[in-house]
Structure 1
Amino acid sequence: MFFIVMNYEEEEWGRDSWGHVAVWAVTHLVMGIPVFAVAAIFSVGVVYKQIHDRYGFDEAYAAHVATNTSLVIGLAAISITLSVIG
């Protein structure tokens, strides 16, 4: 699970300041995430920053991993369902 390692690095660097949160969101464009999704990613980054500031690194990291794990499992379930149906 490559994204678990990346989540650690993102949390370690990307929650130090509000500017880093914005840069973190924009770097998702480089990874091929569509432009319309960057607003949602920035919003989630703001939530992770709040978690980081209030509860610390470990909780923000856990939230980030849980979000990405849910996305991967959800997209896999949708893909499997659509392939069975269609």
Structure 2
Amino acid sequence: MTWQRAQSGVERTCISREIFQSIIVGDFITYLLAPDLLPSNPLREWHGRVEQVNVEEVRVSLLDEGYIGLTEQVNWQEIISVSKGR
């Protein structure tokens, strides 16, 4: 894993490019919102199931209570962990 310094000054981890390239539809990711979205809690971890993989980002279905069923684009640099789906 690599370290990335967010604009807010908070240290964040993100996955490597190599790990991102191994993501497939059905995998589960944990990610942080991008600093430019000005999240009220920049360290809140979000969870999603990968529905589509693109060159720099994935589209996920959110798994967090209150957000289940919504979809979101997540840049590879926002992803902090990946779990392989079945």
TM-score normalised by length of structure 1: 0.25
Higher fraction of strand? 2
Q: Which has the larger radius of gyration?
A: 1
Higher fraction of helix? 1
TM-score normalised by length of structure 2: 0.25
